[in-house]
């Protein structure tokens, strides 16, 4: 008999088995079990469960975020839409957004930890622990180091400051100052917004320009050439006949 997270089929009586995920009883015959586990509803329930931290535990459906066995009358979708689960989902998304914290291992298995990519460590996946982690000076510093080369920010000889290539501006070399510059400085934000609009679907990469202090060009993959990184030069290039002819 097929059992476990992938199937959710457990014994019920001599003639029936129970699908814990779909809340239905099935004749205890391989053909009937196979037909059910290959059905759309069953597969959809498994998808919802793996996206929301619900697992098979002691032959019952257990929600890890809510730390409870799901009531027998409650379907997968009904539980996910319940106030307690929806509140957890909103809170965890708010805490982990932009923090390089992967929840997949927690949501899809019995593992109790999420994984922080920038700190390279497992963290217990409770709201309190994750909140403390993302606000810790070590995590903020690691986030900063990850964001610097994506934002054109470089160390200078004066350790008290860093240099923003995008804004041609020096910033205090503190976690708070640099993150505030990246997140709140209008000139910095507007440059990225305008540049992203200009190069969208144009196969032009800013990566090397932003990661290297002395680089002055962006790279057009479509034309296999470099272009000076200013709005006028890039706009001229993306509308040029040679670039348009290389489309596709």
Beta bridge partners of 226: 219
Residue 71 included in any domain: no
For 4-35, the pLDDT digits (tens) are 445 789 888 889 999 999 999 999 998 999 99
Which residues of the chain form beta strands (DSSP E)? 9-11, 16-19, 24-27, 54-57, 60-63, 68-69, 101-102, 113-116, 121-124, 153-155, 161-164, 169-172, 204-205, 217-220, 225-228
In terms of residue numbers, what domain contains 198?
187-245
For residue 179, tell me if it sits in a domain. Answer: no
Assigned domain for 51 exists: yes
- Give the pLDDT confidence score for residue 11 in this predicted structure: 85
Residue 95 lies in a domain: no
Domain count, the chain: 2
pTM of the model: 0.76
Instruction: Measure the CA–CA gap between 57 and 171, rounded to whole angstroms.
Output: 52
Residue 118 lies in a domain: no
- What does the CA dihedral 97, 144, 178, 90 come to, rounded to 10 degrees? 10
Domain annotation covers residue 203: yes
Q: What is the DSSP letter of 59?
A: T
How many other CB atoms are there within 10 angstroms of residue 164's CB atom? 21
What are 44-87's pLDDT values in tens digits?
Answer: 999 999 999 999 888 899 999 999 999 988 999 999 999 999 99
For residue 219, being part of any structural domain is answered with yes
Angle between helices 83-96 and 127-134 (to 10 degrees): 20
- Whether 113 is in a domain gets the answer no
145 vs 133: CA distance, rounded Å: 16
């Amino acid at each position: 008999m097929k059992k476990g997270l992938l199937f959710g089929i457990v014994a019920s009586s001599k003639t029936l088995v129970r699908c814990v995920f779909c809340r239905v009883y099935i004749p205890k015959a391989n053909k009937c079990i196979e037909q059910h586990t290959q059905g759309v509803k069953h597969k959809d329930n498994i998808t919802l469960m793996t996206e929301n931290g619900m697992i098979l535990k002691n032959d019952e459906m257990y929600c890890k975020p809510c730390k409870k066995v799901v009531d027998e009358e409650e379907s997968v979708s009904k539980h996910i839409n319940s106030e307690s689960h929806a509140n957890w989902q909103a809170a965890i998304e708010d805490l982990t957004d932009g923090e390089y914290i992967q929840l997949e291992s927690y949501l899809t298995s019995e593992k109790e930890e999420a994984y922080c990519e920038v700190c390279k460590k497992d963290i217990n996946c409770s709201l309190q622990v994750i909140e403390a982690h993302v606000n810790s000076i070590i995590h903020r510093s690691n986030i900063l180091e990850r964001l610097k080369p994506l934002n054109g920010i470089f160390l200078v000889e004066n350790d008290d400051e860093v240099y923003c290539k995008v804004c041609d501006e020096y910033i205090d070399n503190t976690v708070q100052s640099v993150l505030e510059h990246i997140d709140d400085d209008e000139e910095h934000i507007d440059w990225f917004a305008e540049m992203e609009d200009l190069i969208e679907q144009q196969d032009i990469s800013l990566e090397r320009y932003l990661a290297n202090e002395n680089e002055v060009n962006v790279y057009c993959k479509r034309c296999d050439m470099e272009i000076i990184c200013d709005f006028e030069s890039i706009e001229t290039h993306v509308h040029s006949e040679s670039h348009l002819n290389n489309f596709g």
